Amino acid sequence: MPGTLLLTNATIVTLGPTPEVIAGGAIWIENGKIRAFGKSEEVLAQAPPVSKLDLQSRVVMPGQINAHDHLYSAFARGISLKDEAPANFLQILQRLWWRLDQALSSQDCYLSSLLGFTEAVQRGVTTVVDHHASPACIDGSLDRLAEAAQQVGLRACLCYETTDRHGEAGARQGVMENLRFARHCQSSADGRLAAALGLHASITVDSRTLSLALTEWPEDVPVHVHVAEDMCDVEHSLKTYGRPPLQRLLEEGLKDRPVWAAHCIHLQPHEKDLLAVHGVTVMHNPRSNMNNAVGCAPVQELLERGVPVALGTDGMSQDPAEDARALAVIHKHQAADPRGFAWENIYRVAFLEPARLASARFGRKLGVIEVGAEADLMVLDYDPPTPLTGGNFLGHWLFGMGTAPVWGTWVAGDCVFFKGQVAGVDAADLKARCRAAAENLWERW
């Protein structure tokens, strides 16, 4: 039967609101969705004679979802700065990221995203939410990322980083690239491409640009924006607009839109309530925030207020499991209390909220093994040395399972990574092309 596969002899971790572990399990995949799952004998009794894959007791679970990424940062790996080391976040932007993104060519955008998507599926990631910037080649840049995503086969939600850094013309180009790609995604039938609408941050988006964007952009597509990542954003907003960044952005039109706000570290007290009132989703990136020394988002307070918080990597790597491990310790460290961040909150931020966000944006059930959900799955070479149950899954994930080798990755029932090979990508050739492109980029950046 076309599009049908039976995964057998599996240790199934369902995730979802109440995770379950099913030893000796099977998953029947049909037309990209989960038709049945459970104990092997029960599923085999229902399934027709189809192609079978014996997982030999390996763990199968929903693929990882990265809620905030910057794929264009890939060619910064190993780069040497041309100026003295940055002393603060604004200098990091000025001396690294804003120089790098301005030097990117269209081919650089394609290759860096192809590398990132390849590394993502190698770590069991099936959905990436990216925030792109390439000021020298704005028009059509999201198509290059989409081309790479389709080549690898995973799901990608893309936007362009609208900013005033390159004048009125550059800002307009950013607005229109987001609009063009959002319209393109409306006609995408396979559910693997989606759009958000990208703004950089209050510090580089003035009121005229924001007004233009909100005039042009559809009201039902989420606006993906960085908020209060560093105090420089707050200080600029207070000086320029008389209000802190989140309040300013909401009052100038975002209160009427779905909003994804990355970071939200330096919020004013009243802004934490504004997040809840306006249904804003926060993207939390703990490793990047530590690396940039910008602080730690008040995630515990936000969760207590009912604010949804989803985990991202911010381009630090393509493996959200690494940020999950940071998430598990940084908030307890900040609270100076081992009880300061409950396990259910780690699970919520690392798994439940990314699944909710992605499911809503792609219009499909993602991030869970249940009947009717998309067959977006990862298989891990993990033989638990202690009992594995639904109740203790998170302990295994943080302290062993999350670093286990990924044996295979499926998206909508299609195998996109298997036994070290990414489908449709020659890894050695890709890395050679990336090395050449990066060397060229480093010479001109």
In sequence order, what are the residues at sequence separation of 6 or more whose Cβ sits closer than 8 angstroms to the Cβ of residue 164? Answer: 170, 171, 204, 205, 206, 209
Examine the pLDDT at 369 and tell me if it is beyond 50.
yes
The total domain count for the chain is 2
| Residue 149 in domain | yes
Are 235 and 341 members of one domain?
A: yes
| Residue 155 in domain | yes
Residue with the bigger pLDDT between 238 and 190: it is 238
Examine the pLDDT at 1 and tell me if it is beyond 50.
no
Examine the pLDDT at 370 and tell me if it is beyond 80.
yes
* Alpha helix positions (H), 69-195: 89-92, 98-103, 106-122, 141-152, 167-186
Are 100 and 129 members of one domain?
A: yes
Are 113 and 185 members of one domain?
A: yes
pLDDT tens-place string over residues 85-98: 999 999 999 999 99
Examine the pLDDT at 201 and tell me if it is beyond 50.
yes
Backbone dihedral angles phi then psi of residue 83, each to the nearest 5 degrees = -120, 175
Are 169 and 231 members of one domain?
A: yes
Output the pLDDT for position 3. Answer: 66
| Residue 34 in domain | yes
Are 324 and 350 members of one domain?
A: yes
pLDDT tens-place string over residues 425-441: 999 999 999 999 999 99
Look at the alpha carbons of 18, 63, 359, 129 in this order and tell me if their dihedral is positive or negative.
positive
Are 216 and 170 members of one domain?
A: yes
Examine the pLDDT at 2 and tell me if it is beyond 50.
no
Output the pLDDT for position 48. Answer: 85
Q: Report the mean per-residue pLDDT for the chain.
A: 96
Please state the pTM of the whole predicted model. Answer: 0.97
| Residue 428 in domain | no
Are 95 and 145 members of one domain?
A: yes
| Residue 265 in domain | yes
Are 69 and 34 members of one domain?
A: no
| Residue 369 in domain | no
**pLDDT band for position 50 (50/70/90)?**
confident
Q: What is the dihedral of CA 336, 338, 343, 345, to 10 degrees?
A: -20
CATH code, 266? 3.20.20.140
CATH code, 416? 2.30.40.10
Domain range holding 281?
A: 64-362
Q: 83: helix, coil or strand?
A: coil
* Residue closest to 394 by CA, chosen among 340, 334, 339, 349: 349
Are 184 and 212 members of one domain?
A: yes
Are 254 and 389 members of one domain?
A: no
| Residue 435 in domain | no
Are 167 and 29 members of one domain?
A: no
Task: Read off the tokens for 74.
Answer: 């890939």
Are 116 and 222 members of one domain?
A: yes
| Residue 280 in domain | yes
